[in-house]
Chain A
Amino acid sequence: MATVQFSGIVKKFGDNVVLNGVDVEIKDHEFVVIVGPSGCGKTTLLRMLAGLEEISGGEIRIDGLRVNELHPSKREIAMVFQDYALYPHMTVEENMSFALRLRKTPKAEIDARVDEAASILQLKSFLRRMPKQLSGGQRQRVAIGRAIVRKPKVFLFDEPLSNLDAKLREEMRVEIAKLYQRLNATILYVTHDQVEAMTLAGRIVIMNKGIVQQVGSPIEVYRKPANLFVAGFIGSPTMNFMHGTLRLEGEHLRFASGDIKLTIPPYLLHDPRKHDGREVTVGVRPDDVLVGRTAEGCSDKVDGVLEVCELLGHRENLYIKVGEQRLLATVEAFFDRSPGSAVTVCFNYKNMHVFDKATEARISE
């Protein structure tokens, strides 16, 4: 297993800058998930590590060794492609043993490794089949098996589950988590699905427009998003944002956004004087919007009107309008009010986030 370092990685396609100074370090045995919206450069970064894309600037090191100019075949990495990329003219067994045969590994060892991978991935009864005779999930297992038998330094996964249906995706997600526990390998995993990122990652790298927005453990990026983008991207349903101004009233900071007026406690923003007159965005996750009740550490009450209720089973999404502002609250089912009725809302201060409106960076604790 190995470490991976990206330092100042730049990628340009003509005048189009896809990656702009990416610095990420991946430790030995670490499962790192790169997540971001389409076109954020996450797959490009992975392909550069694999050697399938040229590097326009910066340096990539695997185990301390600079690999910028190294041919993909010499990097000792294995990659699972989004579209599986199984060799259609080879059986499952031949697909899995291809890399080993290229390296002229002894036949007995090839057989042993293929057999081991096949039993881990429950592929033993499919070894003689051709890829076209397999289902989508089985093909993905073969693609993973092809990577496992190599015993590479680093595993790369390029959105491996995005072509599977929802149920299969969930199953495979668990499989990959189990596989990681078993292999204890260095894994770099790219996805646009934040659920995959949250559930699989040891650390998450969140990217947008070719720039790393935040690197941290799933709980860190969820609880303390570094900026507005991360706050909006991580977490489902999406965080509520209220744009307004902070004013100092006496000793306390007051936030005003239309009909919503809140006192900002000093443990959220230190040194209230510094923030007087600042334009900010306050973010609250739907779980922290309390409807019709109060709790410890709750904000001032705000009156609103219930617009729509969405029953999800054990939870219910409430769409509430406060003046011009729309808020989403997630409450336990069943919320016994009909749309159109008046509700009071308050926010859980403990999980409130304040971002500067101009820089979009987090300013609250």
Chain B
Amino acid sequence: MHRIKRFFSALRGDASAVLRDPIQRRKFFKYLLIHLVVVTAALVCIYPLLRIFSVSLRPGDKLFSTDLSLIPDNATFVAYASLLKDTMFLRWLWNSLLITLATSFIGVSLASTAAYAFSRFKFPGKKAGLILLLSSQMIPAGMLILPLFLMIMKLKLMNTYLGMIIAYSVSSLPFSIWILKGYYDTIPRSLEEAALVDGTSQVGAFWRIILPLSTPALSIAFLFNFTTAWNEYLVARVVLFSSKQYTWTLGLFELQGQYITQWGMFAAGSMLVTIPVLAVFLYSSKWLISGLTLGSVKG
């Protein structure tokens, strides 16, 4: 962005000078093109969200209007109010939040330790294990529904939070392990060795040195776990059957009746569920900083 700013400030000064110089001109058009593509992509992404926002504000009689304005005439929060008052939406949101947070913490904890073993230790089946983890990611989610269903039923965890948490946290493990292993591999071993000589145990070295240095990868794994579990529908549909236990994905579909679908509430719900994800993204962005290991060893 600063590059384009530079060009614009140059433009203000002496635009023709920038455009006359062939190298500057090529650069200018290059960044212009890049920004056009990025802005278009952002618009395409944000458009549906804006439409839903607009629908959620419409009064009941104008749901199917073809009006394109962002804030409709007679805009109202009635849909939000009745969603919160007349349905178990808050309960569903709470269920989702509980399951998602537990999943993310358990998933990241398991992945961070497993990835450490894969990154630092030699053991039989290490390579095969890594490939197996990777290949499990190639299986479409739908195929896993039946075995997951059977497993959770055998464990007598149907319609429970724990059943959901187990199903979710294991399904994102392979991805998290790969991400974290790749990151650990870039952390020089001598840091742990220095810690060992300084008096930590192997676990201590992991806890005090490796984990604090891995926050960017840990937050990516956490975000991945969080968004996958938050938006999941298929497994929830199979495991949960009482509406008290529903996650918001199931709950919103509850609003879809056989004869009538409450689109206003549907849209309001969709808007509300983006808030936690947005908050998590904004919060974790501060951990997504590069160059944490800078200065530790001679580069």
Which positions in A face B, CB cutoff 8 Å?
Answer: 50-52, 71-73, 75, 77-79, 81-89, 98-99, 102-103, 130-134, 136, 139, 146, 150, 163
Does B293 have its Cβ within 8 Å of any Cβ on chain A? yes
Stretch from B53-61, B162-170, B186-194 that touches the partner: B186-194
- Complex-state Cα separation, A134 to B191, whole angstroms: 17
Whole-angstrom distance between the Cβ of B169 and the nearest chain A Cβ: 27
- Flag B97-110 by CB within 8 Å of A: 1 or 0 each: 00000000000000
- Complex-state Cα separation, A81 to B196, whole angstroms: 13
Q: Chain A residue with minimal CB distance to B295?
A: A132
Which positions in B face A, CB cutoff 8 Å?
Answer: 188, 190-191, 193-201, 204, 209, 212-213, 291-298
Contact of A88 among B201, B295, B298 (CB under 8 A): B295
The SS class assigned to the A binding surface is loop
- Contact yes or no, B201 A131, CB < 8 A: no
Whole-angstrom distance between the Cβ of B46 and the nearest chain A Cβ: 36
Contact of A85 among B191, B200, B201, B292 (CB under 8 A): B191
Contact of A139 among B190, B194, B195, B295 (CB under 8 A): B295
- Contact yes or no, B296 A52, CB < 8 A: no
Known A88-B213, A88-B293; judge A146-B198 contact (CB<8 A).
yes
- Contact yes or no, B295 A131, CB < 8 A: yes
- Contact yes or no, A88 B296, CB < 8 A: yes
- Contact yes or no, A52 B197, CB < 8 A: yes
- Contact yes or no, A77 B209, CB < 8 A: no
- Complex-state Cα separation, A188 to B213, whole angstroms: 31
- Complex-state Cα separation, A126 to B198, whole angstroms: 21
- Contact yes or no, B295 A79, CB < 8 A: no
- Complex-state Cα separation, A98 to B213, whole angstroms: 16
- Contact yes or no, A52 B198, CB < 8 A: no
Whole-angstrom distance between the Cβ of A265 and the nearest chain B Cβ: 51
A/B interface sample: 15 pairs, CB < 8 A: A51-B196, A52-B196, A71-B196, A73-B197, A83-B188, A83-B190, A83-B297, A83-B298, A84-B296, A85-B193, A87-B195, A88-B292, A88-B295, A132-B291, A132-B295
- Complex-state Cα separation, A103 to B200, whole angstroms: 9
Known A81-B190, A83-B190; judge A136-B198 contact (CB<8 A).
no
Known A131-B296, A134-B295, A163-B298; judge A79-B199 contact (CB<8 A).
no
Known A85-B297, A87-B209; judge A99-B190 contact (CB<8 A).
no
B294 cross-chain contacts in A, Cβ below 8 A:
88, 131-132
- Complex-state Cα separation, A132 to B212, whole angstroms: 16
Contact of B298 among A71, A79, A84 (CB under 8 A): A84
- Contact yes or no, B199 A87, CB < 8 A: no
Whole-angstrom distance between the Cβ of A155 and the nearest chain B Cβ: 11
Contact of A103 among B193, B199, B298 (CB under 8 A): B199
Whole-angstrom distance between the Cβ of A293 and the nearest chain B Cβ: 47
- Complex-state Cα separation, A161 to B296, whole angstroms: 16
Whole-angstrom distance between the Cβ of A144 and the nearest chain B Cβ: 13
- Contact yes or no, B295 A85, CB < 8 A: no
- Contact yes or no, A73 B198, CB < 8 A: yes
- Contact yes or no, B295 A102, CB < 8 A: no
- Contact yes or no, A87 B191, CB < 8 A: yes
- Contact yes or no, B198 A98, CB < 8 A: yes
A131 cross-chain contacts in B, Cβ below 8 A:
294-296
A71 cross-chain contacts in B, Cβ below 8 A:
196, 201
- Complex-state Cα separation, A84 to B193, whole angstroms: 11
- Complex-state Cα separation, A85 to B297, whole angstroms: 5
- Complex-state Cα separation, A50 to B65, whole angstroms: 76
A99 cross-chain contacts in B, Cβ below 8 A:
198-199
A103 cross-chain contacts in B, Cβ below 8 A:
199
B295 cross-chain contacts in A, Cβ below 8 A:
86, 88, 130-134, 139
- Contact yes or no, A73 B199, CB < 8 A: yes
Q: Chain B residue with minimal CB distance to A130?
A: B295
A73 cross-chain contacts in B, Cβ below 8 A:
196-201
- Complex-state Cα separation, A77 to B298, whole angstroms: 23
